[in-house]
Amino acid sequence: MFKTKPSLILLLLLCFNINAQEIIKKTTPLKSIATVWDLDKANKQGTFKITAYKPIYIAASRWSDSPNTMPYSENSDYSLSEETNYNSFEAKFQLSFKTKLAESILFGEGDLWAGYTQIAHWQIFNTDISRAFRELNYEPELILTYPLNLTFAGFNIKMASVSLNHQSNGRDLPRSRSWNRVIFNLAMESKNLTLYLSPWIRLPDDEDENPLITNYIGNGRVTAIYKLKKHTFYAIATNSFSLKDNHGSLQFNYLYPLNDNLNVHAQLFTGYGETLIDYNHYQNTVGLGVSFSNW
């Protein structure tokens, strides 16, 4: 039988305690907008360097109070006629990267980026449908950024941008969903808080798979990131900005560091449009997992 000396156990416990205390004491700095978007002329990183864009995470378990078992669209060609037996529990992950295609354009100040985000909802616990992926959303975009140096209401406005955004789920009829947008963005920060204000305009689509998508997902987004010592909080809210039949969503995230590159990640969502297939479906979800890269 394997035996361990008491002194060795004490030493291991002491080392673990010291390491845990260092993590607890550690304050994770908020990434500046200038760093994230390479705005500082003196520290330009060059083109075609791949970096994280939106958060990268895996939620090993995500629970929904109302799985969308029979997605429908206001366009009848894109409505299902039979239910699918989806579980309330599934896995979710998000991958997101960006790279700069050209720098110091637009009066020598702007940069052109390509971004790509993919979100997957995986019925990994559902053997009845062979653990299939319920929904995959693909979101490529071209982003033109321009640095600013303005002050307003205690915030430093650091960047304006405009992007050409396409989002689709790559499915056949009747599950196919897609749309195109021009997204405007204003990025600002204070000591511990970063805000991105992002209204958008939907572009016309001859094959309109989701006619009322802006009524549900909304006409804009606000992203707020807040750091409090070792804790990170961020929220993403969308809204239709209409007084009648107002719709939208709120996603709230909490992160706690395990080490320099890994965080425990809890996520809450309420509203419409957690995925494209769910654009007009209301649900509340809770997810728990880990994240590798954040705002």
Which residues are identified as catalytic? 166, 168
Q: What is the DSSP track for 115-151?
A: EEEEEEEE-TT-GGGTT-EEEEEEEEEEEEEEEEEEE
Query: From start to end of the chain, where are the E strands?
Result: 51-52, 56-64, 89-105, 110-122, 133-152, 155-168, 178-189, 193-202, 220-228, 231-239, 248-259, 262-272, 282-293
Q: Which residue has the tokens 């299939």?
A: 132
Full DSSP string of 11-44 = HHHHHHHHHHHHHHH--PPPPPHHHHTT--GGG-
Q: How many CB atoms lie within 10 A of CB 270?
A: 16
Could you give the CA distance from residue 101 to residue 48 in angstroms, rounded to a whole number? 6
**C-alpha distances in angstroms, 178 versus 49, 83, 109, 282?**
29, 21, 33, 19
Q: In whole angstroms, give the CA distance from residue 61 to residue 91.
A: 5
